[in-house]
Structure 1
Amino acid sequence: MTYTLYGMAASLYTARARSYMRTNGVPFVEIKAGGEEFTQTVVPKIGRWIIPVMRTPEGAIIQDGADIIDHLDAAGFSKWPIYPEQPVLLVVAHLFDLFGSHGLLRPAMHYRWNFDAVNLPFLRSAFRDVLPSGLPTEAEDAAFTQASGRMRKAATAFGVNSDTFALVEERYRAFLGLFEDHLRDHPFLLGGHPTIADYGMIGAMHAHLGRDPAPLHLMQTTAPNVFRWVERMTMPESFVDETFATAAGRLFDAAALPASLLALMRFIAEDYLVEIAAHVEQANAWLAEQAGEALDAAYEARTQAKLAGFATFEWHGARISTVVLPYRFYLLQRLLDARDGLPQAESGNVDTLFAETGLSKLFQLRTDRRVERIDNREVWSRA
């Protein structure tokens, strides 16, 4: 009963799914996305080239890291509850899932594509995962140049340009310091075992920032405990910290969260809240301009909802524009749904925590139409 993961060693979102599969003992093989099996058999079934994709032993095709993890969790593979039972921790876990998946894209793209003197030989090798096998050297070089060119262009769409290089590095170093402080005393984000918070964070922190040579050196030399967390999140063996051995797998008490976790939440408020707010505002303005028939047609066609353009906002004194990706709204909705589904007393505890950490506005950020995932695609809901 073996699963198949189609992806790329250097892929952020593949890393997220792979981390869950490794740490929870899922029997799987990984096949590179440039191979014939993926391009000729899987891509036609999902209608586009995108990774990660998982094939179940029964032959079902599931695309997207979150969906893959949820499918395997429902199948009973999780060694520990990846969605915390404590309501406050559940919403916090979704916060880090959102931030890790999208709030770390700027440093992830910057440290990959703007350090060619150090990174380029490694990246040329890593990108063979998405190239056809057996290409002559000249053809392989040309294919890499084309693929890397697309990704360099994508980096600018996430606000990475020569005017922001220094600021991106400053903010990432600040984050790395806070994460290092937290992991010095705690093996995982929310305590004694990984949750969806860790799986959301590991994509950028492993595939880009904990594997590419330039940021890997930075992590190992300035944040060794973060690097050790990356190792724990990518190994099949269970990790048990002696501090937690008497209550294996226990998570924090939601009523007494460590100061280091609150500091990380405040960083998210300072670094990412303005961006996701600008994206929701831009998406709603775009939705208001669309005729209902056009949106319903897009729904029927199962089109990707990447149509809302760019959002512009002030980020630590710099004015930047970033591409609006409705998948962010899908993850944001998971956070909002977790909070909205709580009894009043519990939601009050969540609201208090998010107010204390500067994140209250997050609960007001709602697109006028929900983003749904149907047939492995993001689409705008009908209502």
Structure 2
Amino acid sequence: MSAPLTLYGVPASYFSGKARAYLRKQGIAFEEYSSAHPGYGERIFPAIGRFVLPVLETPDGTIIQDSDDIIGWLETHAAPRLSCHPPGPVQQVLSHFFNLAGSEGLIRMAMHYRWSYLDRQDPFIAAGFIHGIAPESPAEEADALARPMMGKLSGYLGILGVNPGTIPHIEASYHRLLDAFQAHLAHHPCLFGAWPSLGDYGLYGPLFAHLGRDPVPAFEMKQRAPRVFRWTERVGAPNLDILEYPGYPHHGFLPDDAVPDTLLAIAQVLAGELLPEITDQVDAFNRWASEQTGGAGTRLLDKPHKRAVGTTQTRCYGIDFTSGVSPYRVYLLQRLQDALAALDDGPRRRAADWFGAAGLTPLFDAKIDRRIARQDNVEVWESD
């Protein structure tokens, strides 16, 4: 593009990392500022109506919020070096799955490790929030400004299913994820070859910003799965960065729609993080949607800062808890279901068999009764 884009984000942000990594890998010129920058308060917050990161601002004043929307806009407007969507139809659907799993399924794990261990990593976490809120304020004043937001975010642990009963299971799941991804990366630089897919960027959000940077989980990652830590460096690097794979035959995606066998073990771990919570949320969303009268283009939520349409009872590792019902999560699942449905018969059977082997068939049995779209940076009802 003729002029650099502006990304508003911070290193500690789950989804800022996803957008930043895409921009870097694609060689797209951009400048990054935190939400403390005057431009955020003058233009971004009034346009979006809530405090949220990341946000992309284009030279002509277009404002795009949400990491997936940012990547989608860049795919069509910024001449990327190589699309993040693999050419193989099954690869594409699986990439959508890994994006969903990273963006939504690993939130509980990421938030647990950030906030349950605050006593062991408080200076690092607080510094990350200060950078985004008040980087030029005196130390005591900046710390005082950061604490309320830190307290608000740590207060979400309960509704995410983090409690004394689930914590041992969350940590065991993190170790299984590291082991499975480590085994895959022994053979391949990224999920589907040498180039990051949308699925890589989805996983990168939590595995970089929280689990790969925060001291407690990052130490475990470096000790237990050093290849995973190197993958976080690789996905965020401006070059290919595959020096550990000198004989790797492809600098893009694997040919012939190949899907490495090692991805199945990763997906099986992620299935335990997504299910049954996401299908319970779809059921609750459908009940809520059946009572809504707004037509196509109507916002699902009446205020920009609201992100849930209520709560529902669900389970995490067999332990009951109350979960928030997120339309955005349902929207991402809808995108995955659409991607599978759009395949020709042969690839669709291959993908369905793979999802069945991973224990993920319930994702496709969860029928969404009313379709969702994204418009003006919020969820709206899609046209019938």
TM-score with structure 2 setting the length: 0.92
Distance in 1 (alpha carbons) for counterparts of 2:273 and 2:266: 10
Distance in 2 (alpha carbons) for counterparts of 1:353 and 1:188: 19
Q: What's the counterpart of residue 36 of structure 1?
A: 38
Q: Structure 1 residue 94 and structure 2 residue 96: aligned?
A: yes
- The 10-residue stretch of structure 1 (180-189 or 69-78) with the greater mean CA deviation from structure 2: 69-78
CA deviations over 1:323-366 (Å, ceiling 9, x no partner): 12111122112211111112223222222222222222221223
Q: What's the counterpart of residue 361 of structure 1?
A: 362
- Asked if the contact 1:6/1:33 (under 8 Å) is kept, the reply is yes
CA deviations over 1:258-316 (Å, ceiling 9, x no partner): 3311111222233313121111011112223x241599864596757734322322332
Q: Which runs of 5+ in 1 are unaligned?
A: none
From 52, 55, 58, the equivalent of 2:57 is 55
Q: 1:281-320, aligned counterparts within 5 Å?
A: 281-288=283-290, 290-293=291-294, 298=299, 303=304, 306-320=307-321
Q: 1:190-229, aligned counterparts within 5 Å?
A: 190-229=192-231
- Asked if the contact 2:25/2:236 (under 8 Å) is kept, the reply is yes
**CA 1:347 to 1:118, structure 2 compared with 1: closer, same or farther past 3 Å?**
same
**CA 1:122 to 1:335, structure 2 compared with 1: closer, same or farther past 3 Å?**
same
- The 10-residue stretch of structure 1 (363-372 or 24-33) with the greater mean CA deviation from structure 2: 363-372
Q: What's the counterpart of residue 235 of structure 1?
A: 237
Give the AA of the match of 2:273: D
Corresponding residue SS for 1:244: coil
Q: 1:1-20, aligned counterparts within 5 Å?
A: 1-20=3-22
Q: Which runs of 5+ in 2 are unaligned?
A: none
From 157, 170, 178, the equivalent of 1:168 is 170
**CA 1:253 to 1:267, structure 2 compared with 1: closer, same or farther past 3 Å?**
farther
Misfit runs of 4+, over 3 Å: 293-307, 380-383
Q: What's the counterpart of residue 113 of structure 2?
A: 111
Give the AA of the match of 2:37: G
CA deviations over 1:93-115 (Å, ceiling 9, x no partner): 00000000011111100110111
Q: Structure 1 residue 139 and structure 2 residue 130: aligned?
A: no
Note the C-alpha offset of 1:374.
0.8
Once superposed, what is the RMSD of the aligned Cα atoms?
2.2
Identity level (%): 36
Q: Structure 1 residue 248 and structure 2 residue 251: aligned?
A: yes
Distance in 1 (alpha carbons) for counterparts of 2:4 and 2:363: 40
Distance in 1 (alpha carbons) for counterparts of 2:73 and 2:131: 25
Note the C-alpha offset of 1:168.
1.1
Corresponding residue SS for 1:259: coil
- The 10-residue stretch of structure 1 (310-319 or 322-331) with the greater mean CA deviation from structure 2: 310-319
Q: What's the counterpart of residue 375 of structure 1?
A: 376
Corresponding residue SS for 2:195: coil
**CA 1:233 to 1:357, structure 2 compared with 1: closer, same or farther past 3 Å?**
same
Corresponding residue SS for 1:242: coil
Give the AA of the match of 2:42: Q
Note the C-alpha offset of 1:250.
3.1
Note the C-alpha offset of 1:373.
1.0
- Asked if the contact 1:19/1:233 (under 8 Å) is kept, the reply is yes
Distance in 2 (alpha carbons) for counterparts of 1:226 and 1:214: 15
- Asked if the contact 1:369/1:382 (under 8 Å) is kept, the reply is no
Distance in 1 (alpha carbons) for counterparts of 2:305 and 2:365: 25
Corresponding residue SS for 1:191: coil
Note the C-alpha offset of 1:253.
4.4
- Asked if the contact 1:34/1:128 (under 8 Å) is kept, the reply is no
CA deviations over 1:225-261 (Å, ceiling 9, x no partner): 000000101111223433334x33132644x533311
- Asked if the contact 1:193/1:250 (under 8 Å) is kept, the reply is yes
Give the AA of the match of 2:38: E
- Asked if the contact 2:298/2:381 (under 8 Å) is kept, the reply is no
Distance in 1 (alpha carbons) for counterparts of 2:263 and 2:29: 33
Q: What's the counterpart of residue 278 of structure 1?
A: 280
Note the C-alpha offset of 1:28.
0.8
Note the C-alpha offset of 1:132.
3.4
Corresponding residue SS for 1:312: strand
- Asked if the contact 1:188/1:194 (under 8 Å) is kept, the reply is yes
CA deviations over 1:130-165 (Å, ceiling 9, x no partner): 313433333322222101011001222211123322
TM-score with structure 1 setting the length: 0.93
Note the C-alpha offset of 1:40.
2.0
Corresponding residue SS for 2:31: strand
